[in-house]
Amino acid sequence: MTTVARKHEDEAVMAHLLRRAGFGATRDQIDQYVARGYEETVEDLLNPSHGEPEDQDLMDRYFIASVEARSVGHADPQWSWRLATSEKPLEEKIALFWHSLLAVGGIKLDHGLEMLTEIELFRRVGLGSFRTILFEISRNPGMMYWLDNQNSHKDAPNENYGRELLELFSMGIDDMGEGDYTEDDVKTAARAFTGWASKPTPPPFFLGPFPMEFRFDASDHDNGEKSFLGETGNFDGENIIDIIVKKRATARFIAMRLYLYFVSDEPDDEEIERLTDVFQETDGDIRSILRSLFNSDHFKSAAVRFHKVKSPAELVFGAARLTDRFDIPDMDSSLLANQSLFMGQHLLNPPGVEGWHEGEEWVDSGSLIERINFAASELGRVEAPGIRRMIELVELAGDDLQPEEFVEACLDAMGSIDLDNGSKAVLVEHAGQSGSMGSADRIVEMFQLIVSTPDYQYC
Amino acid sequence: MANNSNGHSKKNLVVIQLSGGNDYLNTLVPYQDGHYYDFRPNMGLRGDDLIPIDDKLAFNSHMGTFKSLFDQDKMAVLMGIGYPEPNRSHFRSMDIWHTAQPTTTSSEGWLGKANSIIDPEGKNPITTVNFGRGLPRALALQGVSVASVGALESYGLYTGLAGASNKDAMLDTISRIYQPMADGGFPSRRILETGRGALDGADLLREAPRTYSSDVEYPEDNPIAQSLKGIAQVMSAELGTRIYYAAHGSFDTHTNELVNHALLWDQLSTALACFLDDLKQQGKGEETVIWMFSEFGRRIADNGAGTDHGSGGAAFVIGDSVKGGLYGEYPKLGLADQLEGDVHFNTDFRQVYATLLEDVLGVESEPVLKQKFSTLDLVRS
């Protein structure tokens, strides 16, 4: 590989990492990351500093109704701002991952404050041990309410949480609906979680929502002996989680979901087995699994690049971040959540306990028109600093570009993205016909065409 | 009750969703019932605010079109419609009406499912057309394409794009990129076909206003009238659309109800008169049935300035082929007859869904509703 080709490949791999571990990066950010080094960047992404962000106070002052938010509609400006501006992109990306996998729907839990509390939970523990994540979500009052655990009593266990914990949150089932556990295990898990519930909160009208609290009611907990996945004892919910997280089925299920979310819509059995091993070797440390995933040759290979359909959130915040236009948390950023909703992903309100169906199912004829129109309008914001910079980068590429060079310069300026040869050929032809390629109008037009391609629907 | 449910009906369904929870008691007013005035000291309607239809019930005076439809026997009024154990959250209750599943959460819309039965191979990307941004869950089903239209004239790619001077050439280029090729390529055939369907569907829909002609003048400043005009335009273009959806609101009248509720019904009454007139001109009257519902009714007692979330409500089925009249029973309002301050329901909305599915859309209802419901004798075949 020549030096130029090497550099180009390094940038392409870095851009790929930032699209998957975050919401994409600008050309200048990619240069900075490349200078820092790939593995160093992976570490930076995996180890975001914790603590309350400096702009929380600013956001609370601008989005007054989102403080102790009553409904999802009041709450989503807060997350929108984070997704559009956070400099810790993997923290938001992993929160979005758990938000879909450990899904609590706003439809039943119409409580904006509690939905935001959950997202904060995922930011806080989402890159840590899977045991901690499962434990915390099992003590999350919103989850307990959502899956009816407050209706689960010692003498009448409700199986909803016990079942979904096994089926959707940890061990999983195969295509035939079979899991490595039995109906008796579901019933036992339900018994073990009796007494785990949310404290009743006063109704929100007219005073606004009250913070929800977890409550363990020992008098309503089944203290009897239980058999679960071959082990016997007086188990409570925490013991159940300890048993679940040691199972290979759990390791494989989480490895699979991480793979589908971060690598490709098409599972690769060998790589998923490898990540399953990492899960078991590290007691389910999500950070270690992702480190291994991002640093693998498989992840860096051209074969998986652009092989994952962007979720609406990835598309919206990816395109919006290119504009670099969010100085203060105003309507501009909060409206981005609406765009995601128009494309089929209502943040803070997943459609059910299964979360969203991802991959190609994101794209239907209605949502595709929304995706293209939104992205094209973002790239048309010629006053935005990010777009001005992109135009400048294309202009710097030379005065006298051939159509093919022009298209390549535009793709590069947009953050080292690429298109399939078929789509690219049509765009090159378009560039050749439209004259005065170097003008800002023509450059923006090419940006808009690029985000309209089927290729751009993938990340 | 089951009538001519032969599954061969090929009528079109127009859904008008009254978002926010319409106040049933001030829509169809029990104006001779003392309880009504006892519980509604501030929000009770009297005298000129009423259009009596019999010696017990009156429409809100802002519902003139509804009164004349009622007199012409073209409107079925479903009194006390609802479902067991009502939920008073907008989200949850609307979700229940959208999925027809009161006891479980589901992501499958009842009309999305109907669409998948009407057009199993997804050949027509505009079997369902929604007027509004974002998809109501009623229309959602994985794999079912639905066009969500803001305004027909501007529907499609790049329509809102400011400053794009070269739009035609851009559209031409995009159209050439979305050409499905052999399987196994990249981008996938499915994405390319979806793009093709979206572009073709958008072209068809955008063309609809050009072939449409009508004497009816829908008021410009009335959003539901504009949505219904769009529906009439798509209908007149004969594009194979069977399900139309539009929403009107917000009926969430916690405060200032007398003013807001009247305005909403004025708008709807005017819009509906235009639409029905237009359907007649387009020759679509017999084959079109309108279904109007809200996610819940409101508390029996007013709160001084408005009414809070309640349960049970009124819904309407309208059209030339509808057997007009009052259906169900007007719920009793006395304290002993209340459900936590609300009216009890007496007609399950899923019975109406079963009727609309079988006698309007010609779709077997059980696979959609996941249960067998008896149909109501509302629609002539």
The CA distance from A287 to the nearest CA of chain B, in Å, is 31
Tell me how far apart the alpha carbons of residues B9 and B372 are, in angstroms, rounded to a whole number: 19
Q: Looking at chain B, which residue has its C-alpha nearest residue A338?
A: B134
Alpha helices in A102-220 (DSSP H): 112-125, 130-138, 141-146, 160-167, 183-192
CB B13 within 8 A of CB B362: no
Q: How confident is the model at residue B225 (pLDDT cuts 50, 70, 90)?
A: very high
Query: Cβ–Cβ of B142/A357 closer than 8 Å?
Result: yes
Q: Give A-chain residues touching B194 at CB under 8 angstroms.
A: 363-365, 368
The CA distance from A260 to the nearest CA of chain B, in Å, is 17
Nearest beta carbon to residue B160 from set A105, A373, A449: A373
Mean pLDDT of B32-51: 96
In a domain, B312, yes or no: yes
* A111: CB partners within 8 A, 6+ apart: A70, A71, A142, A204, A209, A212
CB B294 within 8 A of CB B245: no
Mean pLDDT of B310-331: 95
Q: Which of A104, A107, A339 to mutate to test the interface with B (most CBs of B within 10 A)?
A: A107
Q: Looking at chain A, which residue has its C-alpha nearest residue B132?
A: A342
| B1 has pLDDT over 60 | no
Q: Which of B137, B166, B183 to mutate to test the interface with A (most CBs of A within 10 A)?
A: B166
Predicted local confidence at residue A53, as pLDDT: 79
ipTM for this model: 0.91
Is A34 exposed, middle or buried (CB count within 10 Å of its CB: 0-12, 13-18, 19+)? Answer: middle
| B199 has pLDDT over 70 | yes
- Structural domain that includes position B261: 12-154+214-369
Nearest beta carbon to residue A434 from set B146, B166, B176: B166
Mean pLDDT lowest among A71-80, A197-206, B63-72, B250-259: A197-206
Q: How far apart are the first and last CA of chain B?
A: 15
CB B25 within 8 A of CB B331: no
The CA distance from B72 to the nearest CA of chain A, in Å, is 38
Nearest beta carbon to residue B92 from set A107, A357, A364: A107
Predicted local confidence at residue B2, as pLDDT: 36
CA angle A363, A366, A367 (to 5 degrees): 45
In a domain, B52, yes or no: yes
- DSSP per-residue letters across A343-374: TT--TT--SSTT----GGGG--HHHHHHHHHH
Q: Using alpha carbons, select from B282, B309, B283 the residue that is nearest to residue B296.
A: B309
In a domain, B127, yes or no: yes
Q: Give B-chain residues touching A382 at CB under 8 angstroms.
A: 163
Question: Which residue is it, tokens 């909160």?
Answer: A201
Query: Cβ–Cβ of B163/A433 closer than 8 Å?
Result: no
Count CB neighbours of B370 within 10 A.
Answer: 16
CB B80 within 8 A of CB B57: no
Q: Give A-chain residues touching B142 at CB under 8 angstroms.
A: 357, 361
Q: How confident is the model at residue B22 (pLDDT cuts 50, 70, 90)?
A: very high
Q: Looking at chain B, which residue has its C-alpha nearest residue A357?
A: B142
Q: How confident is the model at residue B8 (pLDDT cuts 50, 70, 90)?
A: low
Q: How confident is the model at residue B260 (pLDDT cuts 50, 70, 90)?
A: very high
CB B360 within 8 A of CB B379: yes
Predicted local confidence at residue A214, as pLDDT: 95
Predicted local confidence at residue A205, as pLDDT: 62
Residues in chain A, pLDDT under 50: none
- pLDDT, greater one: B183 or A25: A25
- What residues does each domain of chain A span? 385-457
Q: Is B292 helix (H, G, I), strand (E, B) or coil?
A: strand
In a domain, B162, yes or no: no
Query: Cβ–Cβ of A352/B106 closer than 8 Å?
Result: yes
Mean pLDDT of B64-88: 95
In the chain, the amino acid numbered A27 is R
Mean pLDDT lowest among A421-430, B65-74, B172-181, B182-191: B182-191
Tell me how far apart the alpha carbons of residues B31 and A291 are, in angstroms, rounded to a whole number: 71
Q: Which of A364, A436, A441 to mutate to test the interface with B (most CBs of B within 10 A)?
A: A364
CB A448 within 8 A of CB A322: no
Instruction: Print burial letters for B169-208: b (CB count within 10 Å at least 16), e (below 16).
Output: ebbebbbebbebeeeeebbbebbbbbbbbbbbbbebbbeb
Chain A to chain B, count of Cβ pairs less than 8 Å apart? 144
Nearest beta carbon to residue A453 from set B90, B159, B177: B177
Alpha helices in chain B (DSSP H): 34-39, 64-71, 90-99, 110-118, 167-177, 189-211, 223-236, 257-282, 349-355, 366-369
In a domain, B290, yes or no: yes
Average confidence score pLDDT of chain A: 93
CB B319 within 8 A of CB B15: no
* B220: CB partners within 8 A, 6+ apart: B226
Predicted local confidence at residue B4, as pLDDT: 39
Say which CATH number the domain at B32 has: 3.40.720
Q: Looking at chain B, which residue has its C-alpha nearest residue A422?
A: B177
Instruction: Print burial letters for B336-355: b (CB count within 10 Å at least 16), e (below 16).
Output: eebbeebbbbbbbbbbbbbb
Tell me how far apart the alpha carbons of residues B94 and B80 are, in angstroms, rounded to a whole number: 17
The CA distance from B204 to the nearest CA of chain A, in Å, is 13
Mean pLDDT of B103-132: 91
Q: Total domain count for chain B? A: 1
Q: Using alpha carbons, select from B100, B125, B154, B67 the residue that is nearest to residue B350.
A: B100
